[in-house]
Each structure stands twice: as structure tokens, then as C-alpha cells.
Amino acid sequence: HLDSTGVATALEDVLARVNQGADFTTLARQESESPVTDSVFHKHGELSAEREALVFGAKAGDLLGPMAEADGYHLMKVLEFRTGSAEAVHASHILIDVVNNDSVAALKQAKQVLAEARSGKSFGDLARQYSKDPSSAAKNGDLGWFVKGRMVKPFDEAAFKAKPGQIVGPVRSTFGYHIILLHARDSREVRFAD
């Protein structure tokens, strides 16, 4: 393993060779410390949030990085997009829990939060203030990308019926009442060399 200076030098060398006409995938196979899986198409939700945003926001042929992740530095080349068989959605939510079986109070609060969200108040601010979902509240309610069947049924149905930019709810599930903001939907899959 190289120190950070060695990594920076190695990545600069790879970039220079690519800019001189070398094949990125061949260099990745020669230089990478982890296996190169350039034949695999990745769906939304299979990559880290940072890598997903970078790769799905690029075009085929784009060279991306270097990018630091927990396992090291990555330099990637987007090879190809295709339409996949499953649609994925990117959503945020605010979860209002039902305390002491008082669903009337919880529904009232959920409707009040929904009204604030629809009036233009920051969804992220509302999520941090009201949401009882510990894994997403600190991330502005962001759940990332997911495919059908990954969330509880009432939530899943509401999210997949919504249009991008739409705020829907309150949706009752076993966890409480959800206010859902749909950011995007996409069925693309991406293949890249890393």
C-alpha cells in the first residue's frame, strides 16, 4: 500500500498515460489494488452515495476522480449506460412516530409538517427538526435510491406513484406517518472501470 503522496503520484501517472492515449481499462487492471469489474452494470442504490452521484451524473466516456472513499482513492471511467429492467427512485422522508398509541396526535402533527413542507419550508430543515428516523433525519431525511419492494409496502407504493418534486403524505406504515419528497426516478444502469 502507498502513502497519500505515493497514491497521488500513481494517480497522476495513470491520468498522464490516459491523456497520452493509453486504454483506461487496461491501466486499471494493471494498477488497481482491487479487482476491476468493468463488465458489471450497477443499478441505483448499489454504490456509495458519493460515488453514485458522481457516476450517474456523468456521461459515457467521462473520467472521474480521484475520489477518496473509505477503501482508498478511486479514478473511474464511465464506460456505458443502459436502460435497466427495474426503476429506482430517490426520496427523502420525515417520519412522525405514534407515541402512546395516540395516532390522532401523530396524524395531526404529520399534517402540520406536510403543510409546512408544501408551503416552501426547507424539507431538510423539517426532517432534522421532526423526523424520528435516526438513520435519515441527520441527512435531511435523505433515503438515497431504492427499487420497489425495499421499503414497507405503503411507503413504497406512495413513493413510486409520486412525481419528481412532489411531496406526498401523510402515509401510514408500521413505523408511523411519513411525509415523502420524491427527488427523481431512473431506470438507468451504469458500467464503469475503477
Give the pLDDT of residue 3. 65
Query: How high is the mean pLDDT of the chain?
Result: 91
Q: What's the rounded Cα separation, in Å, for the pair 176 and 169?
A: 11
Nearest Cα to Cα of residue 76 among 137, 28, 133: 28
- DSSP assignment of 46-113: SS-HHHHHHHHTS-TT-EEEEEEETTEEEEEEEEEEEEEEEEEEEEEEEEE---TT-HHHHHHHHHHH
Answer yes or no: is pLDDT of 7 > 80: no
Confidence of residue 173 (pLDDT cuts 50, 70, 90): very high
Span 74-95, mean pLDDT? 94
Confidence of residue 194 (pLDDT cuts 50, 70, 90): confident
Q: What's the rounded Cα separation, in Å, for the pair 35 and 50?
A: 20
Q: Of residues 10 and 47, which shows the higher confidence score?
A: 47
Cell of 51: 460515488
Q: Of residues 30 and 78, which shows the higher confidence score?
A: 78
Q: What's the rounded Cα separation, in Å, for the pair 148 and 56?
A: 19
pTM over 0.95: no
Confidence of residue 2 (pLDDT cuts 50, 70, 90): low
Q: What's the rounded Cα separation, in Å, for the pair 70 and 64?
A: 17
